[in-house]
Structure 1
Amino acid sequence: MALTDVKAAVTRLNTLLAGLDDATARAASGLPGWSRGHVITHIANFSEAMTRQVEEALQGRVVEMYDGGRPARDAGIEAGAHRPAVELTTHLERATTALVTAWDKVGPDDWTRPIQHRNSNLSAGLNATWRELAIHTVDLDLGITPTSWPPAFCLHLLDFLRPRTPKAIHLVLHPDDAPTWETGTGETHVLTGPLTDLTAWYAGRTPLAPITGPTPALLPWP
């Protein structure tokens, strides 16, 4: 994964939302219970929070991702979700631009600097940024689907989500268009289909093409 992937995801997202109107912003997203305004606000707030993670890490400091933790994060999304479309998109563009600027400051020797987000480091934080942008762009349900996810992203997301596989399940994903991927031990479940659709299913999103095989109930996101 490279910073170029994150920059491309930012451009794709802001281009998608150019000219967003209020009715479209108020409409349901692909996430249950969330409008598109909720998704946009979440991405913007995440971008601001991750910007602070990066800037503080570069100063040798580790700070909380969201002041007030998860309750404050959730309250912030709800408070901002119902704003006019122009406010939503302006906030998003400002926040994602600042985040890219922060990532550009990270030097070759900085990637192992610790951050509070998932008790990880800047390298993992960049991957988290990639995931948030790519997945939630799809969640907006504005025409960009998991088919836009490149193989490198799919394989990264599958590996990140390995903890979703229940105990005593040996999950084998046999894509039509990529090498076999597997995780876990126990009763074998073999699923076949396009790599993007198998990844979408594992990420809790709706596949566009049929998946063949018994799909086990998955554990929550790690």
Structure 2
Amino acid sequence: MEAGTAVAVTDRAPSEEDLDLRAALAEGHIRLRGLLAGLTEDAARAPSALPGWTRGHLLSHVEGVARALARQARYALRGRTVEVYDGGRAARDAAIEAGHGRGAAELAAAVGDALDEAEASWDAVGPGDWRRPVAYRDGTVRTAGLAWWRELQIHTADALLGTGPDSWPPHLCLHLVDFLAVRVPAGTELRLAAVDADRSWTLGEGEPVAVEGRLTDLAAWLAGRAPQRPLTGGPLPELGNWP
């Protein structure tokens, strides 16, 4: 078994099929809209949680990825696949650089328009559409929807607008532990225990390392974000790249 594979979990974790993804996205859209309502010029220029990026950079990225993944769903419903970004990664980076300096009102309006587009695209997905193919990771509409869910929730916390990983819903945290298990380095058997959720995981194989903490803090650490309360055990291994 490869390192990073989830080899054991106590009880039954909710499966991806249990998740009402459309409702989860709607909840995330509402939260971000509420935070954008009070965006000031100073706040737009202030640092985000991502090194080297202001909130303007981060929100410009959210704007772009919202539209990019929404169009994956929109074209899939037409029986077509398209690249995630017109012009690829270079075009994505150029749009962030061009857009981050916009005024706070313009920036908030642009992100709001992107969220409108995202809502329209995901609301149009019917029960039989989630398995339609998309270009994103050669996956399905559901693959793209889960990616937008991760981007939306994680970057809302990264924006430092008053909400952090503590606000992540339990189902997202459980999804992140499973999705990010591949970050566990080779030669490590990572034994995670969520002290507030009565759940534990054994990820990877090798030298055992036990880590305990609240579910949101474990998910934040695996996602490369600072836990809001200290994790115990360890020492914490250096995690690999995102999948």
Aligned to 2:61: 42
Matched, 1:221 2:205: no
2:167 maps to what in 1?
A: 148
Q: Secondary structure at the match of 2:240?
A: coil
Q: Deviations over 1:175-211 (max 9, x none)?
A: 1112102210111111011111111011000111011
Secondary structure at 2:232's aligned position in 1? coil
| Alignment equivalent of 2:217, drawn from 185, 197, 216 | 197
SS of equivalent to 1:115: coil
Deviation at 1:219, TM superposition (A): 0.5
Which digits, 9 at most, give the CA deviation of each residue in 1:69-105, with x for residues without a partner?
Answer: 1121111111111111111110111111111111111
Whole-Å separation in 2 of the counterparts to 1:167 and 1:11? 39
Could you tell me which residue of structure 1 aligns to residue 4 of structure 2? none
In the TM superposition, residue 173 of structure 1 has moved relative to its aligned partner by: 0.8
Q: How far apart are the structure 2 equivalents of 1:197 and 1:96?
A: 27
Alignment of 1:176-195 (within 5 A): 176-178=195-197, 179-195=199-215
Check if 1:8 corresponds to 2:24.
no
Q: Equivalent residues in 2 for 1:1-222 (5 A)?
A: 1-2=19-20, 3-178=22-197, 179-213=199-233, 214-222=235-243
Q: Which has the higher contact order (CA 8 A, sep 6+)?
A: 2
Report Cα offsets for 1:27-84 as digits up to 9, x if no partner.
0001100000111111111111112111111111110000121121111111111111
Match of 2:10 in 1: none
Consecutive aligned runs of 4 or more in structure 1 exceeding 6 Å deviation? none
Q: Structure 1: where are the runs of 5+ without partners? A: none
> Residue 5 of structure 1: CA displacement?
1.0
SS in structure 1 opposite 2:112? helix
Q: Distance in 1 between matches of 2:107 and 2:222?
A: 29
Normalising by structure 2, report the TM-score. 0.89
Provide the alpha-carbon RMSD of the alignment: 0.9
Normalised to the residue count of structure 1, the TM-score between the two structures is 0.97
| CA distance in 1 between partners of 2:218 and 2:128 (Å) | 36
Gaps of 5+ in 2: 1-18
